[in-house]
Amino acid sequence: MSKLKQLLEAVGQEFPDDRLTYQKSVPTFHPENAREAAGLFRLANKCGVGMFITGFGNNVDPVGESFAGMISVRTDRLNRLIEVAPEDFFAVVGGGYPLRELNLNLAEHRLYLPHSDLPYVGSVGGAVATGLSATLFDHLLPIRKYVIKAEIVMPTGEIITPGSVCFKSVSGYDIVKIFSPSWGLFGLLVSVTFRVMPDSARVEYATMVQNAIDREAFLGSLDEANGDIDAVYSRKIRSKFDPDGVLPIV
């Protein structure tokens, strides 16, 4: 029996029927929470099957030869606005939530997230994973700056929640920032907590312009031939996070 068939059989036994669909013939898993995604990731490790994480997938749609033998993990059911804390200036959203809708909901609390006003028609998880960024007064303004915490399913199937909602949290490296950008190769962003600001600040971001998204720059840092110290560390992180290679570069 093929590895993928073995995995699909195990998925059928472990999860309710509607979690698995076939999108243009590619088996696609729709987790409803971190626990379900973690269960799939553990099975993928056990069966040796590669996975591809997808949000809205308008540009990278997991179809065709390169995805043969793989399973796609789609975030369409992780699409809730989970919490808005106006007094503590943070908002928690599912990885499959549309980024552009966030400000519509934050408005009733008189709050605002700059990147939700950009013309990025994708999910919160996709925006963080692709390292969405803007330019404001000649300065780079990455979405990462506002990511203060996340719930992540690691490639091995562990669930981690790096970061904190406090105003001062870490004195060393802020681990949650590693995931932006990460292009779906370091784990699944199930939910993301953003630092948000009073909507009176909106005027300060009026001239902000979205930057082009650069996948090649990130992949270049994972290329074995790249000897830069940052690239060496990127590869080390990836091999620690995903020792069995269940989230391959496609």
Ligand X SMILES: Cc1cc2nc3c(=O)[nH]c(=O)nc-3n(C[C@H](O)[C@H](O)[C@H](O)COP(=O)(O)OP(=O)(O)OC[C@H]3O[C@@H](n4cnc5c(N)ncnc54)[C@H](O)[C@@H]3O)c2cc1C
> Which residue, chain included where needed, has tokens 């059911």?
77
State in angstroms the smallest separation of the CB of 88 from ligand X: 24
Query: Which span (32-40, 48-56, 104-112, 133-141) binds ligand X, by CB under 6 A?
Result: 48-56
Q: Is 120 in the site for ligand X (CB under 6 A)?
A: yes
What are the counts of helices (DSSP H) followed by strands (DSSP E) for the chain?
A: 6, 14
Query: Binder to ligand X among 71, 91, 127, 147 (CB under 6 A)?
Result: 127
What's the angle, vertex CA 29, arms to CA 182 and CA 23, rounded to 5? 100
- Asked if 103 contacts 93 with a C-beta cutoff of 8 angstroms, the reply is no
In the complex with ligand X, which residue's Cβ is closer, 45 or 123?
123
Farthest-apart Cα atoms in the chain, separation = 60
Query: Which span (32-40, 102-110, 126-134, 232-240) binds ligand X, by CB under 6 A?
Result: 126-134
Q: Is 77 helix (H, G, I), strand (E, B) or coil?
A: coil
In the complex with ligand X, which residue's Cβ is closer, 6 or 249?
249
The residue type at 112: Y
In the complex with ligand X, which residue's Cβ is closer, 165 or 219?
219
Give 160's Cβ-side CA count (13 Å radius).
Answer: 14
Query: Which span (9-17, 34-42, 104-112, 182-190) binds ligand X, by CB under 6 A?
Result: 182-190
Q: Is 116 in the site for ligand X (CB under 6 A)?
A: no
Neighbouring CB atoms inside 10 A of 82's CB total: 14
Query: Which span (7-15, 17-25, 53-61, 236-244) binds ligand X, by CB under 6 A?
Result: 53-61
State in angstroms the smallest separation of the CB of 231 from ligand X: 18
**102-134: buried (b, 16+ CB within 10 Å) or exposed (e) per residue?**
bbeebeebebbbbbbbbebebbbbbbbbbbbbb
Query: Binder to ligand X among 84, 93, 106, 129 (CB under 6 A)?
Result: 129
Query: Binder to ligand X among 121, 201, 217, 232 (CB under 6 A)?
Result: 121
Query: Which span (26-34, 120-128, 196-204, 233-241) binds ligand X, by CB under 6 A?
Result: 120-128
Distance of CA 82 to the CA centre of its chain: 16
**Where do contacts with ligand X occur on this chain (CB under 6 A)?**
53-60, 75, 95, 119-123, 125-127, 129-130, 183-184, 188-189, 212-213, 215
